[in-house]
Amino acid sequence: MDIVIKIPDIGIEKAEVIDILVHVNDIVEKEQSLLVIEGDKASMEIPSTHHGKVKEIKVKVTDIVHQDSIIIILETIDDPLPELNDTPNHTKVIDTHDVIIHASPLVRRLARASNIDLRNINGRGRKNRILKDDLDNYLENNLNNNNLSKKYDHVYNFDFSRFGEVEEIQLSKIKKRSGSLLCLNWSTIPHVTQFDEVDITDLEAFRIKYNDRITVKEKKITLLAFIVKSITKGLEKFPYLNSTISHNQEVIFLKKYINIGIAVDTIHGLLVPVIKDVKNKNLSDIACEIYHISKYARLGKLKFSDLQGGCFTISSLGSIGGTAFSPIINAAEAAILGVSKFSYKPIWNGSEFIPRLILPIALSYDHRIIDGAEGAKFISYINTLLSDVRLLLV
């Protein structure tokens, strides 16, 4: 007999499926979590109402569900009769694929973004619940203890004090976490980096003229605000750069929203706060938000939600210097833009060399999702938008 599992009354009109916790043919217990949904303010796990075998999964990640939406079809199964030589307490042996994993939606999302199977992690919480610290420790140890690292242990585990004085400094928690993620991102995502130079002479002239009229510092428009606006238009025109590839690399999730992460250098390490819903914000709004999130990041006042939901990241080193660099993609995003320091260069106009303000940019993208032609078209489109500021205002 088939059992239909539906979304119960969860007190909200609709929610998005953000994770599916079972597979077809899995044996599930009553009250075992089947999937995770997320509304405007919270995430929650939907439990099974019965014991049975998963016959069919009626939803997929990103689907919108509501009360009474059918999510799972279970097939009833009979528990096998105990063998005669069973011990009185009839201890049940469960296959590792059927182990109930206790973890919050946040931990599940982070694990999915880092391509980590939670069954490999021993949780230290109540009922072996996997905590965020458990995930962080697993990620750090997994990266530090892989075969390649062990092969070069003799290089790092060396007494450098033999040659002179050495000071030992512990990495901050943020640097340890970001370092592990960068290593994972670099080793699991096939990067291609495309370089270009943008003539921003007219843009800068317009920006300076506009800002001369603005007295409030946080409302002055920065070059970064123009870049965010150009990326927003670029993602609308080239949607594959606003996507995520599935864990099994068989499906691409195209996002209909645009949230832009801005890499901010702080005394504790690199943070990437996210500007939400940028396609519905003008240049002034974007500039104001960049000002505030950068300030809060350096003061250590960001909320965790400020770091979530990014679709694309911008890493700007323009205020520091350098002519070019290859930025590392933030999983599970598809691309990242690196911005270097602008400078004047002599440009030939057909009859003479004239000084023009040139901005170097670099686009790194996931080659599993984006091919070279699309990457080149995207960065060329960004170049066009920044070279003619009027195109950003329409």
Section 193-215 average pLDDT: 95
Burial 123-160 (b: 16+ CB within 10 A, else e): beeeeeebbeebbbebbbebbeeeeeeeeeeeeeeeee
Whether 155 maps to a domain, the answer reads no
Section 345-372 average pLDDT: 96
- Measured CA to CA, the distance from residue 51 to residue 65 in angstroms comes to 23
Identify the pLDDT of residue 86: 41
Same domain (yes/no): 95, 211: no
DSSP state of 173: H
Whether 296 maps to a domain, the answer reads yes
Same domain (yes/no): 207, 356: yes
Section 127-155 average pLDDT: 66
Q: Which domain holds residue 360?
A: 191-393
Same domain (yes/no): 95, 221: no
In sequence order, the 6+-apart residues with CB closer than 8 A to the CB of 30 are: 47, 48, 49, 50, 51
DSSP structure string for 195-262: EEEEE-HHHHHHHHHHHTT--SGGGSPPHHHHHHHHHHHHHHHSGGGGEEE-TTSS-EEE-SS--EEE
> What confidence tens digit (pLDDT) does each residue in 311-345 have?
999 999 987 878 899 999 998 899 999 999 999 99
Same domain (yes/no): 95, 197: no
- Measured CA to CA, the distance from residue 235 to residue 373 in angstroms comes to 15
Whether 10 maps to a domain, the answer reads yes
Per mean pLDDT, which of 245-249, 286-290, 307-311 is the most reliable? 286-290
User: Higher-confidence residue: 211 or 394?
Assistant: 211
Give yes or no for a contact between 107 and 131, defined as CB atoms under 8 angstroms apart.
yes
- Domain boundary among the residues 66, 100, 134 is at 100
Which residue in 124, 166, 334, 313 sits closest to 231, CA to CA? 313
- Domain boundary among the residues 65, 100, 135 is at 100
> What confidence tens digit (pLDDT) does each residue in 65-113 have?
999 999 999 998 865 444 434 433 343 333 334 456 777 766 776 776 6
DSSP structure string for 311-329: SEEEEE-TTT--S---PPP
Query: Does the pLDDT at position 147 exceed 60?
Result: no
Phi then psi dihedrals of residue 122, to 5 deg: -90, 115
Whether 174 maps to a domain, the answer reads no
Same domain (yes/no): 221, 350: yes
Same domain (yes/no): 95, 216: no
- Measured CA to CA, the distance from residue 237 to residue 12 in angstroms comes to 33
> In the structure, what pLDDT confidence band is assigned to residue 142 with cuts at 50, 70 and 90?
low
> In the structure, what pLDDT confidence band is assigned to residue 114 with cuts at 50, 70 and 90?
low
Identify the pLDDT of residue 100: 60
- Phi-psi domain of 379 (left: phi exceeds 0; alpha: psi -120 through 50; beta: other): alpha
Mean pLDDT of the chain: 84
Q: Could you list the active site residues?
A: 367
Long-range contacts of 123-129 (CB under 8 A, 24+ apart): 127/102, 128/102, 129/102, 129/103, 129/104
CATH number at residue 11: 2.40.50.100
Whether 236 maps to a domain, the answer reads yes
Same domain (yes/no): 196, 74: no
> What confidence tens digit (pLDDT) does each residue in 41-66 have?
566 788 899 999 999 999 998 899 99
Whether 371 maps to a domain, the answer reads yes
Structural domain count of the chain: 2
Whether 154 maps to a domain, the answer reads no
CATH number at residue 291: 3.30.559.10
Tell me how many degrees the CA angle 329-187-373 measures, rounded to the nearest 5: 50
CA-based torsion, 203, 208, 212, 216: positive or negative: positive
> What confidence tens digit (pLDDT) does each residue in 149-185 have?
555 566 667 788 888 999 988 877 777 777 777 888 8
Identify the pLDDT of residue 87: 37
Identify the pLDDT of residue 378: 98
Full-model pTM: 0.63
- Domain boundary among the residues 47, 65, 100 is at 100
Same domain (yes/no): 207, 342: yes
* pLDDT > 70 in the chain, percent: 86
Whether 73 maps to a domain, the answer reads yes
- Measured CA to CA, the distance from residue 177 to residue 374 in angstroms comes to 32
Identify the pLDDT of residue 41: 54
**Alpha carbon 141 to its chain's center:** 21
